[in-house]
Amino acid sequence: MRIRTWRFVGSALAGMLVVVAAWIGRSYWVLGRSYADVQKPIIVADHSAQAVARGKMLFETLCIECHGGNDGRATGRVLDEVPAFLGTFYSANLAHPETGVHRRSDAEIARVLRYGVLADGRFSPAMSAFGKLGDADVAALLGFIRTQPPQLAPGGQVQPRTQLSVVGTLLIASVGGVNVDGPAVGVPTPVKEASVEYGRYMANVLDCAGCHTAGFGSAKMDDPEAFAGGFELTDPTGTKIWSKNITPDEETGIGRFSVDDFADAITRGVTPDGYLVRKPMPLFSGLDRIDAEALYLFLRTVDKVKRQNRPGGHPLERAHSGDPPETLFVNLGCAACHGEGGPYRGEIVGALDKSDDDVAAWIRDPQSIKPGTKMPAFGHALDVEQARALARFVKELARQRGS
C-alpha cells in the first residue's frame, strides 16, 4: 500500500514537472520567436507645424522618459525602476548611428509603436504598451523624429538586450501576452479638449493604469481596482517604492485634489502638501493645461478604491529654517537624482557657469526657465535664501566632481 502511494505521488510530481517545463518552454517561445511577418502600418510622418509640435510633446513625455541617457539624448539606459525579479531591462539607443530611428522607415517605427515588434522581428513587451496611440499621434511622432532633433543626434553605444528572468518571462508571456492581431491602422485620436474621452485616451497613452494598478496584465484599465496603486517599482536610489492610489477616494486617493493640485503634481512634481512627487513617476512637464484637466476629469470617473498608500522609496522631509544645504539636498530628494549613482548625477555640472541667483531661480521654478524640463519645482519647499544656499552647495559639489 505504501509503495503504491509513493508511486502515485511520484507520478503526480513528474506530471507537474512536465506541465511546468512545458509552460516555461512555451513562454520562452512566445517571447523569443520572430514576429517579422507582422504587418507594418501604412502611417507616414506628418510634417505640419501643429503635428511636429504634438510629436515633440509626445517624444519628450513618452520616449525620453525611458530612452533618455545621461548625455541628454535618446541613447538608452538600464531601466533600474523595473523590479529586479523580472530581469534586467534596457531601453534601446534611438540615436545610434547604425541602428537608430533615423535608419528606420516610417512603417518600421509605426510597427514598434502599434505592436511592440522591433525592426529585427523581436517582440518588445515595453513598447507593446503604446498600441493604443492613435494614428494621428503616431504620424505626429514620426514628423518630429524626421526633424532630426538634438535628442536624436547620432551617438552612443548599442544597448544590451533586455534579459528577462524566468519569473519575468512567465508573467509577461502568460499574463501580459503578445497581441499582434489588432488593426494596423484606424486607431482614432480624440479631439484635444478638456473632456473625459480625451483624458481616457491620454491615460492609455501614458499607461497610467500600468503603473498605478497592482499586479500584471494587459487589461489593467478594466481591473476593478484600477488606479488604486500598489505596483512595485524601484526609485533612483534602488529602494523599493509602490505606486500611489490615484482613484477619486477622498481619504487614500486624489479625491481632495483640485484640478490645480493635480496639474501641479503631474507637470511640476509638487503634491498639495508640499512634497516632491518621487521617481520613477515621470514628470509630465510637457503636458499643457488641457492635457492635465482632461486626465483629471477622467480620473474623477473611475471607481473609488479605499486603499492606503504603501510607504517606500527614498525618504523625504520638509525643509526647516536653519537646515544646512547638505541636509536639504538629501531631505528634499535632490540626492536621489543628483547624488552618487543617481541618473542625473552629471547634470549639476551645468550650474558651474551660472550665478548663485540663476541656479536658485532654477531650483525654485525650472519650468519657467526651460518649459518641458524634467526637473521638479522646489519653490513650494524653499524660500529664496534657502535656494541660494542650496545653489552654492550644488555648485561646490559640481566643482568637486569635476576636479
Rounded CA separation 345/339 (Å): 6
399 three-class SS: helix
Q: Region 94-105: what's the mean pLDDT?
A: 94
**What is d(CA 389, CA 337) in angstroms, rounded to the nearest whole number?**
19
Reported as a single tens digit per residue, the pLDDT across 324-351 is 888 888 888 788 778 776 667 778 888 8
Mean pLDDT of 150-173: 88
Strand 87-88 relative to strand 240-242, pairing = unpaired
Cut 0.85: pTM above it: no
The larger pLDDT score, comparing residue 151 to residue 330, is at 151
pLDDT digits (tens, 9 = 90+) for 240-292: 899 999 999 999 999 999 999 999 899 888 888 877 788 888 889 889 999 99
Q: What is the predicted pLDDT for the residue at 4?
A: 61
Question: What CATH number does the domain located at 325-402 have?
Answer: 1.10.760
CATH entry, 196-299, from 3.80.10, 1.10.12, 1.10.760, 1.10.3470: 1.10.760
Q: What is the percent of the chain with per-residue pLDDT over 70, rounded to a whole number?
A: 93
What pLDDT score does 88 carry? 92
Cα–Cα distance for residue pair 32/26, rounded to 1 Å: 10
Number of residues in the chain: 403
DSSP 83-140: -GGGEE-B---TT-TTTSGGGS-HHHHHHHHHH-B-TTS-B-TTGGGGTT--HHHHHH
102 with 152: CB under 8 angstroms? yes
Task: Give the pLDDT confidence score for residue 8 in this predicted structure.
Answer: 56
Give the type of residue at 252.
T
pLDDT computed for residue 193 by the predictor = 97
Q: 186: closest CA among 133, 223, 150, 141?
A: 133
Confidence of residue 362 (pLDDT cuts 50, 70, 90): confident
Q: Report the pLDDT value the prediction gives residue 15, as an integer from 0 to 100.
A: 64
pLDDT for position 7: 61
Instruction: Enumerate the domain spans of the chain.
Output: 49-176, 196-299, 325-402
Least confident of 93-107, 110-124, 313-327, 382-396: 313-327
Taking only the tens place, the pLDDT of each residue in 38-74 is 999 999 999 999 999 999 999 988 898 889 887 778 9
Query: Lowest-confidence range among 46-50, 133-137, 164-168?
Result: 164-168
Cell, residue 42 = 501604412
Angle formed at CA 356 by CA 350 and CA 357, multiple of 5 degrees: 110
The answer, yes or no, to whether residue 148 has pLDDT greater than 90, is yes
Q: What is the torsional sign of CA 65, 71, 76, 77? A: negative
Mean pLDDT of 227-249: 90
Predicted confidence at residue 135, as pLDDT, reads 96
What pLDDT sits at residue 370?
Answer: 81
> What integer best gives the mean pLDDT of the chain?
87
Instruction: State how far the Cα of 71 lies from the Cα of 251, in Å rounded to an integer.
Output: 41
Q: In this structure, what C-alpha cell is assigned to residue 254?
A: 486624489
As a whole number, mean pLDDT of residues 339-366 equals 82
For the chain, helix, strand, coil in percent to 5 are 45, 5, 50
First and final CA of the chain: distance in angstroms?
Answer: 79
Confidence of residue 3 (pLDDT cuts 50, 70, 90): low
